[in-house]
Amino acid sequence: MSISQTIETRRAGSRKLLSAGRKLATSLAVIATTLLGLLIITFVVGRMIPADPVIAVVGDQADQSTYDRVYKEMGLDRPIYVQFGSYLADIARLDFGQSHVTKNQVASDLARVFPATLELATLATIIGAGFGVPLGILSAVRKGTWVDHLARIVGLLGHSTPIFWIGTTVILIFYANLGAIPAGGRIDIYNEGLVEGPTNSLIIDSLLAGEWDVFWSALHHVIAPALILGYAAMAYLSRMSRSFMLEQLRQEYILTARAKGLGTRPIIWRHAFRNIRVQLLTVVALAYCGLLDGTVLIETVFSWPGLGQYLTSALFFADMNAVLGSVLLIGIISIAINLLSDIVYRFIDPRTR
Amino acid sequence: MLRRHVILLSSIAALSLAAPDLALAATPKDQLVIAMDTSSLRGLDPNEINQLEAAEIVANLYERLVVLPADNISKPQPGLAESWTISPDGKTFTFKVRSGVKFHSGNPLTAKDVEWSLRRLVKLGLAPSTDLRQWGFTADNVEKLIRATDGSTVVVETPEVWNSNLILYSLASFSTSILDSKFLADKDKGGDMGREFLQTADAGSGPYTLRTWRVNELIIADAFKDYWQGEPKMRRVLLRHIPESSAQRLQIDAGDADVATRLSSTDLGALETGGKVTIQKTPGFGFYYLALNQKDEILSKPKVREAFRYLIDYDGLAGTVMKYYGIKQQTIVPAGLPGAIDKNPYKLDIEKAKQLLTEAGYPNGFSKVYYATPVTPEYEVAQSLQANAAKAGIKLDLQGGDHIGKFRNRQFEIFSARSGDRLPDPHAVLQSYATNANNTDEAKLVGLNAWRTAWDVPKDIQQMVTAAAHETDQSKRVGLYTKINEAYLASSPALVTSFLRTDAKAVRNEVKGYIGHSTWLTRWDTVNKGN
């Protein structure tokens, strides 16, 4: 290799590195702007809701001097931009403040409630994708048959039935009448305190600790809400999978493959399915994000102490530190899932590199 | 592929559903499980909390000088004070502190702890400090007025003469719980007297110790083995956060909970019919009330105020949505307290209301914005009033939401809610509903419902309320309260009372000794399950 070629190669390498650096910087700027925007909107909306955070703390019978004192203690006497600036400065130090309701640090509250939601949402996504994707594909492959009609009815029901109604009905039938599932919570109360693990996921921590009673109890408690959420996710994913697959099956390369005498199974799985993987990954990631921040109804019905319930309760009592911390966490998780799916795209589809 | 998935996932589901011995048919004999909505719980510091749910927990973690028995609420009994005397001038209360009482830390309880705890309540000056501050105690005078004179004697001096019951009732409140001052000495952070520590921990001497508290999930309290009255029968009390009424109903019905504390009227009715539980209706000292802002020209007319009293469907509501939540009462002294009278002269009468409106100069009615809290049964009561008012020509724009801040600041036209006073004495209600020493906006007497309503309460009523609070002769007091009650009823008040508040709980039939307490201090150490 000549000197000029070597220099050119190095220059090309530098350009690539620079370009990668720019992309990374742009991505980080976009992420930071998104999170800041999220916080600004939440902060402003939080100040507009009618609930008075001071009364939520001192009670409505408190006299004016008590009210004024707590108002100052909570820092509400400062201009809103100063409050927000101070909050951002605290966040930079990874201090999310104290919850006025729980009296704990918001970070420790989130470390406790988020794994509960993560456990539920992950299981629901596995169930939703595990059933929904194959069902959608089968429905597309057998379009117009009874399988297709059945899959569409199941999907439509999952899409249109209120999830809290399904939850209440499931509890009524399987808990109250059959005694097959527990009524709610993450674990049987008599197993409480047996496992205090590093992840705060009872299923994982009990497995790590070898506490089988706790493991079964945790699994027994999570399965009903996870199946219901999974059903809702399945309804969405089966419809999307069906639509993606139908689009592929209409392509000319499928016709060519069939003309060449390739069997149905290889056509579906080796050719059509490969081409919908990126789209599928996108919708599964979206469903997962939706489950992580939108399980509040099921959490309430099943008394599941997760992020949804925590956030709702914080909103109800105008507990802004808790609300902002939760919203920030949801934002970060959503961005992380999207980034992760972007990375996976690159592995499964070279065109996206 | 699909079949494989179905088999795999179905197997996991079936396996977990078939997990052995997980759904218990009944709670253990030595444990009490209470279903509770704990979302409003804010710490467990007795000098800071102000909610019914938190009060019940604190009542069992801590003890107080004086006890008001659930079945005889107006008769103060010795608690941590084994006896007390009152000076002839009625201003000095001397308490003999019980010996042999231990805190959960193992420290002995002394008069110094009593002194420190009562002073702490006043000095912190948070919401429940009203229990002592209303009698004239301030951060400046409390060191002088509340003092331990030796290891077992505490003297409490009041700046003015008050009826002794008022002071004793205050010393029976959850806010005057006695804390372990020695244990808390090294928990102080920046002069907070252990406030941060006590949010999630206890430093009491009560029959139960706090074992676990996971916010909005679970609270576990263990029986205190060295409790001076003997170890409680229930080895453990578990409070499970169940916000949904229907979920509470199913669990108590199935036997997975012993007590359910937050149930809708429908669920209470269904449980009562089922026969497995008893519905306890504990009368409180607060009212469901309608507030008519007197800064409003129309609402300030006595005939308009009077018209509203004919627009409430007392009997219809009493048999339906209020069946478990209240007892019809149109007077101001709560039933069962001195001066209470059984007199409910008003009933729904649209024609009478129309006639009063015509006499007031509004034959075609008027329109007003009406704020109400969107919770059961308050909102149903508001909707009923809205419908009846419409028949009389009054258009009420009913707006649900948290409007208590606007009510406190007089920024409303019509508002309805329920109050929750805790002292078993007429003064607690009357002070808020029937005194308003300064009706100007600047006075900011925001703790008083009368001031919030901008109601310049007739001076004779206010004078009688003040006189009755200072009156030491009990029979004279009863006479005064009877007079006040009559005068309030006749005054076309701006604060219209319709129902006396009751707190309904469902208790499984096998649970004995769980007795709802009117001042929110329900005890667990009296509970047994036939063992």
Dump the DSSP string for B6-55.
Answer: HHHHHHHHHHHHT-TT-S-SS--TTEEEEEE--TT-----TTT---HHHH
For residue B19, pLDDT beyond 50: no
For A192, which of B6, B215, B218 is closest by C-beta distance? B218
Instruction: Tell me which amino acid residue B499 is.
Output: F
pLDDT (mean) for B279-290: 93
For A135, which of B2, B199, B200 is closest by C-beta distance? B2
What value does the mean pLDDT of chain A take? 86
Highest mean pLDDT among A41-55, B4-18, B500-514: B500-514
pLDDT above 90 covers a percentage of chain B that reads 78
For residue A261, pLDDT beyond 60: yes
pLDDT number for residue B215: 80
Contacting residues of A for B242, CB less than 8 Å apart: 184, 303
pLDDT number for residue B531: 63
Residue A220 near chain B (CB below 8 Å) = yes
Contacting residues of A for B20, CB less than 8 Å apart: 216
Burial of A148 from C-beta contacts in 10 A (0-12 / 13-18 / 19+): middle
pLDDT (mean) for A188-215: 82
What is the C-alpha separation between B428 and A287, in angstroms, rounded? 54
pLDDT number for residue B226: 96
pLDDT per residue over B110-133, tens digit each? 999 999 999 999 998 887 888 999
Are the C-beta atoms of residues B39 and A313 closer than 8 Å to each other? yes
Which tokens hold the place of B25?
């048919």
Name the pTM for this structure.
0.82
Q: Are strands B77-78 and B81-86 parallel, antiparallel or unpaired?
A: unpaired
Q: Residue A152 to residues A131, A163, A243: CA-CA distances in angstroms? A: 13, 18, 11
pLDDT per residue over A236-251, tens digit each? 999 999 999 999 988 8
pLDDT number for residue B305: 97
More confident residue, B505 or A295: B505
Q: Is the dihedral of CA A72, A76, A80, A85 positive or negative?
A: positive
pLDDT per residue over A110-145, tens digit each? 998 999 999 999 999 999 999 999 999 999 999 889
For A310, which of B15, B16, B216 is closest by C-beta distance? B216
Q: Per the CB < 8 Å rule, is A51 touching B444? A: no
Residue A150 near chain B (CB below 8 Å) = no
Burial of A37 from C-beta contacts in 10 A (0-12 / 13-18 / 19+): exposed
Residue B39 near chain A (CB below 8 Å) = yes
Tokens 């941060």 belong to residue: B196
More confident residue, B47 or B18: B47
Give the residue among B432, B319, B313 at the shortest CA–CA distance from B382: B313
What is the C-alpha separation between B392 and B208, in angstroms, rounded? 55
Give the residue among B378, B249, B364, B356 at the shortest CA–CA distance from B309: B356
What value does the mean pLDDT of chain B take? 91
CA-based nearest distance B475→chain A, Å: 30
Interface subset of B 407-466, CB within 8 angstroms of A: 407-408, 432, 444-447
Q: Per the CB < 8 Å rule, is A131 touching B200? A: no
For B2, which of A66, A103, A134 is closest by C-beta distance? A134
Give the residue among A19, A104, A11 at the shortest CA–CA distance from A322: A104
Highest mean pLDDT among A64-78, A161-175, A268-282, B172-186: B172-186
Contacting residues of A for B254, CB less than 8 Å apart: 175-176, 179, 183
Q: Between vectors from CA A19 to CA A14 and to CA A23, what angle results, nearest 5°? A: 150
For residue B156, pLDDT beyond 60: yes
pLDDT above 70 covers a percentage of chain B that reads 95
Contacting residues of B for A148, CB less than 8 Å apart: none
pLDDT (mean) for A200-218: 87
Q: Per the CB < 8 Å rule, is B250 touching A183? A: yes
Give the helix/strand (H/E) hosting B142. Answer: helix B142-145
pLDDT per residue over B163-186, tens digit each? 999 999 999 999 999 999 999 999
pLDDT (mean) for B84-99: 96
pLDDT number for residue A353: 62
For B200, which of A103, A180, A223 is closest by C-beta distance? A103
Q: Are strands B367-372 and B395-400 parallel, antiparallel or unpaired?
A: parallel
CA A195 to chain centre: 25
For residue B376, pLDDT beyond 60: yes
What is the C-alpha separation between B482 and B431, in angstroms, rounded? 15
Residue of B nearest to A301 (CA): B244
pLDDT number for residue A191: 76
Are the C-beta atoms of residues B435 and B465 closer than 8 Å to each other? yes
DSSP secondary structure of A261-289: T--HHIIIIIIIHHHHHHHHHHHHHHHHH
Q: Per the CB < 8 Å rule, is A305 touching B33? A: no
H helices of A171-319, in order, are 202-209, 212-249, 252-259, 264-265, 273-293, 296-301, 307-316
What is the C-alpha separation between B211 and B52, in angstroms, rounded? 20
**Sequence-ordered strand ranges (E) for B196-351:** 208-214, 218-223, 236-241, 259-260, 277-292, 326-328
Give the residue among A135, A168, A223 at the shortest CA–CA distance from B9: A223
Interface subset of B 225-244, CB within 8 angstroms of A: 238, 240-244
pLDDT number for residue B24: 46
Are the C-beta atoms of residues B92 and B155 closer than 8 Å to each other? yes
CA-based nearest distance B239→chain A, Å: 10
What is the C-alpha separation between B500 and A192, in angstroms, rounded? 40
CB contact set of B95 (below 8 Å; sequence gap of 6+): B65, B81, B83, B84, B114, B153, B154, B155, B156
Tokens 């808790």 belong to residue: A322
Interface subset of B 1-30, CB within 8 angstroms of A: 1-2, 5-6, 8-9, 12-13, 15-17, 19-20, 22-25, 28
For B247, which of A227, A301, A316 is closest by C-beta distance? A301
pLDDT (mean) for B485-498: 95
pLDDT per residue over A65-118, tens digit each? 888 888 888 888 888 889 888 888 888 888 888 888 787 889 989 998 999 999
pLDDT (mean) for B326-354: 95
